[in-house]
Amino acid sequence: MTRQRTRREKGFALVYMAVFLSFLLIATGLAVDGGRAYVVKAQLTKAVDGAALSAARNLNSGTPRAEAEKIFRANFPAGYMGVSSVTDPTADPNFFDMRTDNTTGVNVVTVRATAVLPTTFMRLANFQQVTVTSSGEAQRRMVDLSLVLDVSGSIGSKWPAVRDAAREFINSFDASNDRMSLTLYSYGANVVRQMSASRGFDKIATKAAVPNSLPGGTTAMPEGLYRGWDELRTVPSGSQSGLRVIVLFTDGSGNVYPGLYDTSGTSKGLFTSDFPKRTPDPDNITTNSPSITGLYDPATGGTYPGSGSITVSFWSNTTTWSGARWMPTNSLHQHFRSFGIPTAFPLMDGSLNVNGMPQTSSRSLRNFNATQNKYPAEVWNIRNAVTNLTEIVANAARADNSGDYPIRIYSIGMGSLVQMPLGTVPESSESVLMRISNDKRSADYNNTQMEGKYYFAQTEADVGPAFQALQNQIVRLSK
């Protein structure tokens, strides 16, 4: 009896062990095959997300699906982790979908894919394969964009890189749904491609309008910014894109002030060079003995009869040029297309801050003449007035509530000059560009206005990546 009971107990133990081992193998199979399925799912998700984002970025090219196919295959190669089959992005009609929501101004790209993974241990439970699916969606907003490019002489040999980066930036927008204008500024500011009232823009003509060789000249930044703002305003209310943007590129700081310097009634620009002298200064742009030069046409950049120049012995000298003894009482902007845009701004605005202090104290003008009721047009005052005006125009554009949507400003500063402390404060052009853009990194960030962003390109090789980062920020590719 005892032997029989022992044999019976051993038999039960073997049965229990067999059952236990079967469950253990199935559990192991679940762990191993489930882990493989998890890795496949993660990679498939990465592949469809990347494909959707890349396709949205390339909506302009006419081949977004081809771009999605390329990125998908690169991220999920055939046979990955032993999969027996995966969606063929070329043949499967469900792989790619693109639609435009005209009410919200958003382009939506959706990419879907499926992979079949043969199991190993899970076959013990009669599970022969695991099917993994994933979808990715990217949204790209429609935009009205005013591109404002510095073409001043200080850019020099760096221009080909800037030119090519600007053209590639233009190419990255949708010719059918986006709008774009192009303004070039140096001695003056010239709108070479106007913004269309209807949706879309001529991409080929806009890229061609970026000059092959550098025009050169001074830096009429306030007028360039003003013309860029004006172009956005020309799009009628009710048809504007949900995103309205000014993009400003420069390699330095503004140095031309537009206003009435004579009795002609015509606005003209007065220039002073960058000061004081800084080292290293590889392009020899800064000086302790700046010149005062004028008078320039704010649109064409041409000089008027009687124009001339004087070089002062030191940047704090009170010398003025005989052709323009006094600063105008305010700026004057006579070249515009939109209705109702302001045409004059003060020499300084106490409501705007520079490093936490009002312009009227931190970047003030000096030596006011009570008889003339004006400030003398000396280097100190020209420089401060130009920088003040640049920030005043930018603030007016961001505060403009005449359109359907507010305006954002983005900026790119290139090269060592933008980080040099210049002017009477002194201050870097970079800090000014941050205020122009209302970048959160600025000590004078205004949380009541639209936030923009400033991008720094250390060398010409960094301009392309800066424009690319800016393009991604503008269209806000998201999944």
pLDDT at 104: 58
Q: How far is CA 450 from CA 147, 180, 262, in A?
A: 18, 20, 38
Look at residues 145, 153, 207, 144 and name the one whose alpha carbon lies nearest to residue 185: 153
What is the C-alpha to C-alpha distance for residues 426 and 371, in angstroms, rounded to an integer? 30
What is the C-alpha to C-alpha distance for residues 198 and 217, in angstroms, rounded to an integer? 34
pLDDT at 465: 97
Average pLDDT over residues 303-330: 96
Cis peptide before 376 (omega within 30 of 0): no
Residue 84: pLDDT over 60: yes
pLDDT exceeding 70 applies to what percent of the chain? 89
171 and 281 in contact (C-beta within 8 Å)? no
What is the C-alpha to C-alpha distance for residues 443 and 112, in angstroms, rounded to an integer? 45
What is the C-alpha to C-alpha distance for residues 20 and 337, in angstroms, rounded to an integer? 84
- The amino acid occupying position 135 is S
Could you confirm whether domain 143-475 is CATH 3.40.50.410? yes
User: Which of 11-20, 39-48, 333-342, 364-373 is predicted least confidently?
Assistant: 11-20
What is the C-alpha to C-alpha distance for residues 129 and 151, in angstroms, rounded to an integer? 62
Mean of pLDDT over the chain: 90
DSSP annotation of 88 reads: -
**Tell me: the pLDDT tens digits for 251-309?**
999 999 999 999 999 999 999 999 999 988 888 899 999 999 999 999 999 999 999 99
DSSP annotation of 195 reads: P
pLDDT band of residue 7 (cuts 50, 70, 90) is low
Residue 1: pLDDT over 70: no
**Tell me: the pLDDT tens digits for 351-398?**
999 999 999 999 999 999 999 999 999 999 999 999 999 999 999 999
315 and 379 in contact (C-beta within 8 Å)? yes
Sign of CA dihedral 101, 181, 207, 162: negative
Determine the Cα angle at 183 with ends 269 and 154, to 5°.
Answer: 65
| Strand extents, DSSP E, 40-188 | 85-86, 96-101, 106-118, 129-141, 143-150, 179-185
What is the C-alpha to C-alpha distance for residues 398 and 388, in angstroms, rounded to an integer? 16
Tokens 């305006």 label which residue?
407
